[in-house]
Structure 1
Amino acid sequence: MSARGKHRRSKARPFVRGFVAVGTGGAALVLPIMGATGAGAAQPAQVTQVAREAQATVPQVQLVTHKVASGETLSKIAKKHSVSGGWKKLYKANSAVIGTDPARLRPGLTLTVGTKTVQTPANEVKAAPAAEPAATPAAEPAAEKTYTNDLDGWIKEALDIMAQNGIPGSYDGIHRNVMRESSGNPQATNNWDSNAVAGTPSKGLLQTIDPTFQAYHVPGTSMDPFDPVANIAAACNYAADKYGSIDNVNGPY
């Protein structure tokens, strides 16, 4: 019996041009090697897209607020933040927070003093949910407010008109000055002081002279300086311009 020959099975080796031979018994099956154009090639493009989205920004409008400190007034805050329209515009925008008396600012209140535009990454901006249409309630006629025809009623009516026009002042501040100036007499006239000598006597509850009454007259009130409501409103408007509020007046003004 002849000696069994020794044979070695040759190992499969890759072809030099991107192919590999795989044994199949008799024939060699040639398969291409996966190149750089496969699924992994899309990753750099995906990373670039994410980076672009992260860098994109959208302008967003934000409110600028101010926290009231002790001793601050609307005039000071409006000047500090360069509010267009001054303290009246500032009060109008924050009347729901301040209340009916602009001169009495409570420390700790947060007021809106303007807006600013900031750039926010686009991928952080969330679309606001669509608002559901609200049911419209049936309109009810507003009851007309009435006032008594006396000092109490005149002051209360004047305060409501002042609030609509952003004029500061309180019931106590008005009442105190009325009692000092005219003792509550709407027809009071000063015929002896320097104004009277100059031909412009002081008139009415808060003793305004005609030029001052006309300059600080509040729209919607009478042009008669002896009209108690018109006299109070005009005098408080003048006091707000000169002293910040009628509440700050404790003597002749």
Structure 2
Amino acid sequence: MPANFRIPRSSRALTRTHKAAVAGVATLGAAAIAFTAVPGGAHTTASADTVAAPVQIGSQPVKDVKASVTDQLAGTSVKIQAIEAKKQAAAQHKARTAAAQHKAEAAARHKAQAAHKAAKAASRSAERPRMETVAAATSYGNNLDGWIRKSLSIMRQHNIPGSYSGLHRNIMRESSGNPAAMNGWDINARNGIPSKGLLQVIQPTFNAYHVPGTSANIYDPVANITAAANYAAHRYGSIDNVNSAY
């Protein structure tokens, strides 16, 4: 190179300019890279001075959330217990009500049964005097037929068996229908206790089998028939079973 050749002074200035341009291009490139790194739809107008505050999770907020959840669970448990207690109380009340109703119904049935029995007994008591009154009011002839029929009425009241034909048959055989008849020749007469009346009854037998409500006179036709029928019922089952001396 010729010794007198010199590089112009302006070359150093260009060099500084170039450096400045390169620095600017680098800065623009970094900005472009930063811009492309921003997600789509995000705002890019924030200034460089705006810096997001760092998210910190402290222990106190977590504790507060846990306590709140615990309180809510405790409140729910209390509510459930209250509901269950109400259900149990309602069930117990229903059971007590049903038991009381059952007891009342049983008492009502018992009372009704007792009233029915009492009414039935009263009806029977009222019916018995009515029947006896009707029997007493019935008039019977003062003859053998009337005596037999009246005796049969009294016999029914005292549950003494016997029929009209059975009485009539034995009366006719023993006394021929004479209420004053007396046997003075048989063994009873010889022993001093002669047979008397329609059915020829001795005095000891008449006294033993006399039916209340009839005359105490052995010669009374109705008293004689009824006492003899009562004696025959105890010994033979019924006056109808007697066909000879008894």
| TM-score where L is the length of structure 1 | 0.52
Change (3 A) 1:15 1:173: farther
Match of 2:164 in 1: 171
Rounded Cα–Cα distance in structure 1 between residues aligned with 2:88 and 2:166: 80
User: How far off its partner does 1:48 sit?
Assistant: 4.8
Are positions 1:122 and 2:129 aligned together? no
Rounded Cα–Cα distance in structure 1 between residues aligned with 2:178 and 2:145: 12
Are positions 1:181 and 2:174 aligned together? yes
Match of 1:34 in 2: 79
Match of 1:16 in 2: 70
User: How far off its partner does 1:235 sit?
Assistant: 0.7
Report the RMSD for the aligned CA atoms in angstroms. Answer: 3.9
Rounded Cα–Cα distance in structure 2 between residues aligned with 1:32 and 1:148: 100
Change (3 A) 1:220 1:31: closer
Cα pair 1:54 1:123 within 8 Å, conserved: no
Pairing partner for 1:240 from 206, 215, 233: 233
- Give 1:234's aligned amino acid: A
Match of 1:159 in 2: 152
Rounded Cα–Cα distance in structure 2 between residues aligned with 1:15 and 1:249: 109
Match of 1:2 in 2: 42
Change (3 A) 1:201 1:18: farther
> 1:93-242 to 2 correspondence within 5 Å?
122=106, 125=109, 128=112, 144-242=137-235
Structure 1 residue matching 2:224: 3-state secondary structure: helix
Q: What is the aligned residue count?
A: 164
User: How far off its partner does 1:187 sit?
Assistant: 2.0
Rounded Cα–Cα distance in structure 1 between residues aligned with 2:102 and 2:72: 40
Rounded Cα–Cα distance in structure 1 between residues aligned with 2:90 and 2:188: 88
Indicate the structure with greater helix content: 2
Rounded Cα–Cα distance in structure 1 between residues aligned with 2:158 and 2:206: 16
Change (3 A) 1:235 1:126: closer
Rounded Cα–Cα distance in structure 2 between residues aligned with 1:146 and 1:123: 50
Rounded Cα–Cα distance in structure 2 between residues aligned with 1:243 and 1:53: 60
Unmatched runs of 5 consecutive residues or more in structure 1: 4-12, 21-29, 59-120, 132-140
Indicate the structure with greater strand content: 1
Rounded Cα–Cα distance in structure 1 between residues aligned with 2:243 and 2:212: 26
Structure 2 residue matching 1:128: 3-state secondary structure: helix
Instruction: Select the structure of larger CA radius of gyration.
Output: 2
Unmatched runs of 5 consecutive residues or more in structure 2: 1-40, 44-65, 117-132
User: How far off its partner does 1:45 sit?
Assistant: 1.7
Cα pair 1:157 1:229 within 8 Å, conserved: yes
User: How far off its partner does 1:207 sit?
Assistant: 0.8
Higher relative contact order (CA 8 A, sep 6+): 1
Q: Percent identity?
A: 50
Rounded Cα–Cα distance in structure 2 between residues aligned with 1:250 and 1:216: 20
CA distances 1:144-187 after superposition (whole Å, capped 9, x unpaired): 32211211011011122223333332212211221222222212
Mean Cα displacement is larger for which, 155-164 or 226-235? 155-164
